[in-house]
């Protein structure tokens, strides 16, 4: 499945001029509010008609203003999960779920009722009315409703934004399962680095209606300059690592990849499984000598690939660990004190307890469990 | 109680006729009422304010003026009246159908207003959501918009019925006051007040009017509550 977008659209004083192409299983449209993310998904979903441009999904032309093509939204077969769920208030949950299914030609219904209900855990809600559901339940039903229409693509517009942290944690595993088990490509709008790092295989960074960058999540999140200033520390390395060993006594797992070995606590995945690990730039300590007598379990040797001084008090350091890059955000003072410069051998030190919200890798054939790694740092 | 039900044939006719006229006026106004409410609530076209003005005209004009205009247009020799008579055999003047037309026209603004307000209150994002699920505009209207505006439609219908029951000026101007054909409750009450010894009949019909009006109001409340429970809008 590929999605290619190349459109120009004007909305009052705001202008959107964006082109990107993605083959990702879950492509995040990332950017601050007002960057044009929602307009972009509305254009893909057919809720907006672009001034000019072309949108092609899986070889099917949805919009081509030059050729006069505009497929109306009800013929696009694109599922849309809105930020505010938008369940029909005059119908029960089961009627909501049947709605999209009813309009799908029988031959094209691939979504099996029972497995969708199971996937989202909404079997006990079927006879309820939308207004008696919690925010998280509403959002799960909305995902189910979109899914049961057997869409060729799913759009999600900040589906977690209106939920509190607990509800977010409740929904995330379902979105991961959707991504990994159904094979329907997803376009996911978000302004949260944490969500994107955990869910997205690919990302498109939007800034004031323009595409600032696009590519695999692991590469884009390394570029801290793309992230909003207050969230730069949230960026960092996203690594797919294999579970190589497990220590039952301490509940520790050992993960390995080119960067070396890291140790995490409370990971519920069997040896051999692949998991995705996010090492946030602000959680990385940079040392010029191998530290000793330190509680941090993860000490990864590497070389400085680059040091970027912003206009603030911080320095963003890229460390090349055997080909993979780990980013560290430290103070400008520390960087100067240590005399950090390209090619200097250093050690990246990461506390094990900082591995939160990392998740299972998108790697195909992964049999990793869908539990989150560890807990929130307390 | 016996006194109340002891109606003369003409009085009975007036009661039956009023209910028939009001019901027909309400049912026939409903489809165009919904259509025009939709146009006014959502349409973007030249002359929208003209249409809005036309619809509301019977509300502001003296009823006698509306009745006279109906007589000029739908009377036997009026342009529309003559056409309908020749081609379809439909006659309005001095018939109960004319009374229904007069009542329908007079009540139309109230019907349109109630439905229009409920259409404007519909969350259009729900309709967009239905569209993404594969429903074409007609299905969206039938499955989302219509059920959501049902309370407004019911309110509009009851208003329309009540207004039609009470319409006097336009009706009497257009179709006169013929017992058994065009003499509705208000006309009959008016007639009683014009003759000596008519007080008792006028009072009887007045009480019956009140009972019918109250019954309509209660019916609308019950229906609205039932629909409201089904809708359960947050």
Residue A249 is predicted with a pLDDT of: 86
Chain-centroid distance, C-alpha B181 = 19
Which chain A residues have a beta carbon less than 8 Å from that of B232? Answer: 89-90, 129, 131
Of A45, A129, A130, the CB nearest to B132: A45
Residue B153 is predicted with a pLDDT of: 92
Do residues B198 and A56 touch, judged by C-beta distance below 8 A? no
Which chain A residues have a beta carbon less than 8 Å from that of B131? Answer: 46-47, 72-74
Residue A71 is predicted with a pLDDT of: 93
Which chain A residues have a beta carbon less than 8 Å from that of B128? Answer: 47, 73, 86
At residue A76, φ and ψ (nearest 5 deg) are -85, -25
| A-B contacts at Cβ under 8 angstroms | 73
Which chain B residues have a beta carbon less than 8 Å from that of A86? Answer: 123, 125-126, 128-129
Of A73, A79, A89, the CB nearest to B232: A89
Which chain B residues have a beta carbon less than 8 Å from that of A104? Answer: 134
Which chain B residues have a beta carbon less than 8 Å from that of A74? Answer: 131-137, 140
Cβ contact, residue pair A86, B143, below 8 Å: no
Residue B228 is predicted with a pLDDT of: 66
Give, for all 378 residues of chain A, the pLDDT tens digit.
789 999 999 988 889 999 999 988 999 999 888 888 999 999 999 999 999 999 999 889 999 999 999 999 999 999 999 988 999 999 999 999 999 889 998 888 888 889 889 888 899 999 999 999 988 899 999 999 999 999 999 999 998 887 888 778 878 888 888 888 888 899 999 988 888 888 899 999 998 889 988 988 888 888 877 777 777 777 778 888 888 888 888 888 888 888 888 888 877 778 888 888 888 888 899 999 998 888 888 899 999 988 888 767 888 898 988 888 888 888 888 888 888 889 999 999 988 877 764 443 433 333 333 332 333 222
Of B126, B134, B233, the CB nearest to A149: B134
Of B126, B131, B133, the CB nearest to A145: B133
CB atoms within 10 A of CB A248: 6
Residue A33 is predicted with a pLDDT of: 83
What are the respective helix, strand and coil percentages of chain A, to the nearest 5? 30, 35, 35
Cβ contact, residue pair B126, A86, below 8 Å: yes
Cβ contact, residue pair A80, B231, below 8 Å: no
Cβ contact, residue pair B132, A84, below 8 Å: no
A274 min Cα distance to partner chain B (Å): 35
Residue A374 is predicted with a pLDDT of: 31
CB atoms within 10 A of CB A289: 8
Do residues A15 and A51 touch, judged by C-beta distance below 8 A? no
Alpha-carbon distance of B147 to B130, in angstroms, equals: 13
Of B139, B143, B231, the CB nearest to A89: B231
A132 min Cα distance to partner chain B (Å): 9
A56 min Cα distance to partner chain B (Å): 17
Cβ contact, residue pair B125, A73, below 8 Å: no
Of A47, A103, A129, the CB nearest to B133: A103
CA distances (Å), origin A304, targets A208, A223, A237, A289: 32, 15, 15, 13
Cβ contact, residue pair A46, B231, below 8 Å: no
Cβ contact, residue pair B132, A73, below 8 Å: yes
Nearest alpha-carbon partner for A142 in A73, A76, A87: A87
Q: Which of residues 133-152 of B touch A (CB under 8 A)?
A: 133-137, 139-140, 143-144, 147-148
Residue B147: exposure state from Cβ atoms within 10 A (0-12, 13-18, ≥19): middle
**Which residues on neighbouring strands pair with residue A287, listed in sequence order?**
A347
Residue A356 is predicted with a pLDDT of: 62
Which chain B residues have a beta carbon less than 8 Å from that of A47? Answer: 128, 131-132
How does DSSP assign A148-171, residue by residue? HT--SEEEEESTTTTS-HHHHHHH
Express each pLDDT in B212-230 by its tens digit: 888 888 887 887 777 766 5
Q: Which residue of A has its CA nearest to B230?
A: A90
Which chain B residues have a beta carbon less than 8 Å from that of A80? Answer: 129, 132
Q: Which residue of A has its CA nearest to B138?
A: A74
DSSP state of A350: E
Nearest alpha-carbon partner for A171 in A136, A199, A197, A195: A136
Express each pLDDT in A189-215 by its tens digit: 998 888 888 889 999 999 888 998 898
CA distances (Å), origin A65, targets A7, A50, A57, A69, A71: 9, 8, 15, 6, 11
Decide if B232 touches A, using CB distance below 8 A.
Answer: yes
Q: What is the pTM of this model?
A: 0.78
At residue A286, φ and ψ (nearest 5 deg) are -105, 130
Do residues B106 and B63 touch, judged by C-beta distance below 8 A? yes
């Amino acid at each position: 499945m590929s999605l290619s977008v190349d459109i120009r659209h004007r909305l009052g004083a705001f202008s959107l001029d964006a082109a990107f192409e993605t083959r990702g299983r879950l492509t995040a449209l990332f950017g601050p509010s007002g960057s044009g993310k929602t307009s972009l998904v509305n254009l893909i979903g057919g809720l907006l008609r672009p001034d000019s441009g072309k949108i092609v999904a899986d070889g099917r032309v949805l919009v081509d203003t030059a050729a006069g093509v505009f497929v109306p939204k009800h013929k696009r077969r694109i599922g849309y999960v809105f930020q505010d769920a938008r369940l029909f208030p005059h119908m029960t949950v089961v009627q909501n779920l049947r709605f999209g299914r009813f309009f799908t030609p029988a031959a094209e219904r691939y979504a099996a009722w029972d497995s969708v209900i199971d996937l989202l855990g909404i079997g006990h809600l079927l006879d309820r009315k939308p207004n008696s559901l919690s925010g998280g339940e509403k959002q799960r039903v909305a995902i189910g409703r979109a899914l049961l229409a057997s869409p060729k693509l799913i759009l999600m517009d900040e589906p977690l934004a209106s939920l509190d942290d607990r509800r977010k944690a409740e929904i995330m595993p379902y979105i991961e399962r959707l991504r990994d088990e159904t094979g329907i490509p997803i376009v996911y709008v978000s302004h949260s680095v944490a969500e994107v790092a955990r869910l997205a295989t690919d990302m498109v960074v939007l800034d004031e209606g323009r595409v600032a960058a696009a590519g695999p999540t692991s590469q884009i999140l390394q570029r801290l300059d793309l992230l909003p200033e207050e969230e730069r520390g949230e960026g960092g390395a996203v690594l797919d690592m294999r579970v190589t060993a497990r220590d039952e006594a301490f509940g520790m797992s050992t993960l390995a990849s080119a960067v070396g070995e890291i140790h995490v606590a409370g990971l519920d995945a069997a040896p051999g499984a692949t998991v995705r690990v996010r090492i946030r730039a602000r959680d990385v300590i940079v040392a010029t000598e191998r530290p000793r007598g330190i509680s941090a379990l993860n000490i990864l040797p590497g070389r400085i690939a680059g040091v970027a001084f912003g206009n603030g008090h911080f320095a963003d350091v890229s460390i090349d660990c055997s080909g993979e890059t780990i980013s560290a955000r430290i103070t400008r003072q520390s960087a100067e004190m240590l005399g950090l410069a390209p090619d200097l051998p250093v050690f990246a030190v990461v506390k094990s307890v900082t591995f939160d919200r990392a998740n299972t890798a998108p790697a195909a054939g992964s049999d990793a469990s869908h539990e989150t790694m560890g807990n929130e740092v307390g | 109680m016996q006194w109340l039900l002891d109606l003369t044939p003409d009085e009975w006719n007036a009661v039956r006729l009023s209910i028939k006229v009001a019901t027909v006026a309400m049912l026939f106004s409903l489809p165009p009422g919904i259509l025009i409410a939709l146009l006014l609530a959502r349409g973007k076209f030249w002359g929208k304010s003209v249409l809005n003005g036309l619809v509301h005209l019977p509300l502001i004009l003296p009823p006698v003026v509306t009745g006279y205009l109906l007589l000029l247009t739908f009377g036997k020799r009026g342009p529309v009246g003559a056409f309908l008579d020749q081609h379809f055999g439909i006659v309005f003047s001095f018939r109960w159908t004319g009374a229904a037309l007069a009542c329908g026209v007079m009540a139309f603004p109230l019907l349109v207003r109630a439905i229009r307000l409920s259409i404007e209150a519909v969350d259009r994002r729900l309709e967009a959501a239905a569209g993404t699920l594969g429903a074409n505009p007609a299905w969206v209207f039938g499955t989302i918009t219509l059920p959501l505006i049902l309370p407004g439609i019911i309110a509009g219908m009851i208003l329309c019925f009540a207004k039609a029951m009470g319409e006097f000026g336009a009706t009497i101007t257009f179709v006169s006051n013929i017992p058994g054909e065009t003499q509705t409750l208000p006309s009959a009450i008016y007639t009683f007040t014009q003759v000596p010894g008519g007080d008792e009949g006028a009072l009887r019909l007045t009480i019956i009017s009140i009972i019918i009006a109250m019954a309509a109001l209660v019916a609308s409340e019950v229906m609205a509550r039932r629909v409201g429970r089904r809708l359960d809008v947050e």
